[in-house]
Amino acid sequence: HKVVFPVAGLGTRFLPATKVVAKEMLPVLDKPLIQYAVDEAVDAGADTLIFVTNRYKHAIADYFDKAYELESKLQEKGKDELLALVQGTLPKHVRAIFVTQPEALGLGHAVLCAKPVVGDEPFGVVLPDDLIWNGAIGSGKGALRQMAELADAQQAGVIAVEEVPHDQTDKYGIVDAAPIDERSALIRYMVEKPKPADAPSNLAVVGRYVLPGRIFQLLEQTTPGAGGEIQLTDAIDALLKEQGKVLAYRFEGIRFDCGNKAGLVRATMHMA
């Protein structure tokens, strides 16, 4: 029911655009990246969306808020389709909560900032940079819904993985996992950005997670790792050691890495 969107990064790869515009507000055709992420979370059954932002990202809150002037103008002019688009950014039964990450201390730290809102229950994490498209939402199941169903059936944490070219393992967290079926596998261990020669597989962790509330205590005990940042991967590794069961899941759908320019262009072409 709860999904966390860590969106407090600096988005340096899109400077100067991201000097004032949050990376998550960059459009893929006619919708900002964050809308695709929210649609996927709602499709998975989320009713509480927690955005971990920073002080420069007011646009995200504004985008999901009511736009009184615009809405009344569209209503006056009878532009009902446009009005529905403007009002439809967030379904009525879904609430958005904004939490600040005071300093960009890493993805793990950003997730930890959501602890007071999430509490003890299992929750989802969606990195909007990874746009995962499985047909139009409503036709194919979104990646997060596929993962939530598996997490529920197996009572375990689930991490999305994707096969990447062998020469790119040093850009990702890589898992070593024992296959359970065509799409899921039991993780043995994870390594952060291994050189191709050292990588145990080419299964890379991408931006979707379903995690138990226990991860927050493990994050609190995690010391800063690579780059002085608190890494989510380190806490998941601790969870693995403690519970012995975290699943890797090869989702159905196409992933676009919109954290870089080529990925954003590819996603835009695909949607067009």
Interface ranges with ligand UTP (CB under 6 A): 6-13, 23, 52, 101, 104-107, 109-110, 127, 129, 259
Residue whose CB is less far from ligand UTP, 12 or 139: 12
* Least Å from the CB of residue 260 to ligand UTP: 8
Q: Which residues contact 4 (CB under 8 A, 6 or more apart)?
A: 50, 52, 111, 114, 118, 123, 124, 125, 126
* Least Å from the CB of residue 55 to ligand UTP: 13
Taking CA atoms, 193 is separated from 65, 117, 129, 179, 250, in Å, by: 38, 31, 18, 22, 19
Element (H, E) at 133: strand 130-133
* Least Å from the CB of residue 230 to ligand UTP: 8
Residue whose CB is less far from ligand UTP, 199 or 205: 205
| Contact indicator for 177, 163 with CB cutoff of 8 Å | no
Residue whose CB is less far from ligand UTP, 89 or 101: 101
Taking CA atoms, 216 is separated from 5, 68, 226, 238, 257, in Å, by: 15, 38, 19, 11, 27
* Least Å from the CB of residue 233 to ligand UTP: 12
Residue whose CB is less far from ligand UTP, 57 or 145: 57
Residue whose CB is less far from ligand UTP, 106 or 124: 106
Q: Which residues contact 192 (CB under 8 A, 6 or more apart)?
A: 173, 225, 226, 231, 233
Residue whose CB is less far from ligand UTP, 213 or 263: 263
| Contact indicator for 213, 118 with CB cutoff of 8 Å | yes
Residue given tokens 């919708």 in the structure block: 31
* Least Å from the CB of residue 68 to ligand UTP: 29
| Contact indicator for 208, 148 with CB cutoff of 8 Å | no
| Contact indicator for 176, 188 with CB cutoff of 8 Å | yes
* Least Å from the CB of residue 182 to ligand UTP: 29
Task: Say how far residue 153 (Cα) sits from the centre of its chain.
Answer: 21
* Least Å from the CB of residue 58 to ligand UTP: 15
Which residue type is seen at 37? A
Residue whose CB is less far from ligand UTP, 185 or 257: 257
User: Which residue's C-beta sits nearest to ligand UTP?
Assistant: 9
